[in-house]
Structure 1
Amino acid sequence: MWEYDKVIFTREFSRNIVTKLLVERAEHGGWELDRVRITADGTRRVILRRKIIRQRLTV
């Protein structure tokens, strides 16, 4: 199972800043890039995903 997170960056953010922010989330939060959509007005809609790790109850 996957957990998803949607992040939206306006066109004021440069490509380098967006890359740095996404790398930081990947390194510290375990997120990976699922999808990027750039709209006509320059907004970036990014969908990140990470694996849900379920712990089993040990008795």
Structure 2
Amino acid sequence: MRENLKRAPAGRGAPLHHYEYLEITLTPGESVPGAYQRLREHAEYGQWELARSTLYMGGQRKYVMRRKVLRVERTLNIY
């Protein structure tokens, strides 16, 4: 099982509402119930939601989860 995190762009000019994506990839020989357990843990504790589930020819599976990232801009310019 491989997990790949794609972060939302940061810095000036980045959108205020954006998503982070987490891709979980399973090879054909890996345990599907184990992957479901990982998906549940990410959803419950990390506030992730399942965006896409793909089953490829040959048995490889790919799950894409996302969570919203809220950017907060400073409203007072004190300094």
Query: What band does the TM-score fall into relative to the shorter chain?
Result: 0.7 to 0.9
| Offset of residue 58 of structure 1 | 5.0
The partner residue of 1:19 within 36, 45, 48 is 36
Superposed CA RMSD: 1.5
Partner of 1:39: 56
How many residues get paired?
Answer: 59
Question: Gaps (5+ residues) in structure 1?
Answer: none
- Identical residues among aligned pairs (%): 34
Alpha-carbon distance in 2 for matches of 1:13, 1:22: 14
Which one has more relative contact order, counting CA pairs under 8 Å at least 6 apart?
Answer: 1
Question: Gaps (5+ residues) in structure 2?
Answer: 1-17
Give the secondary-structure state (helix, strand or coil) at the position aligned to 2:70.
coil
Structure possessing the higher radius of gyration over alpha carbons: 2
Partner of 1:56: 73
Superposed structure 1 runs of 4+ greater than 6 Å apart: none
| TM-score (normalizing by structure 2) | 0.63
Which structure: greater helix fraction? 1
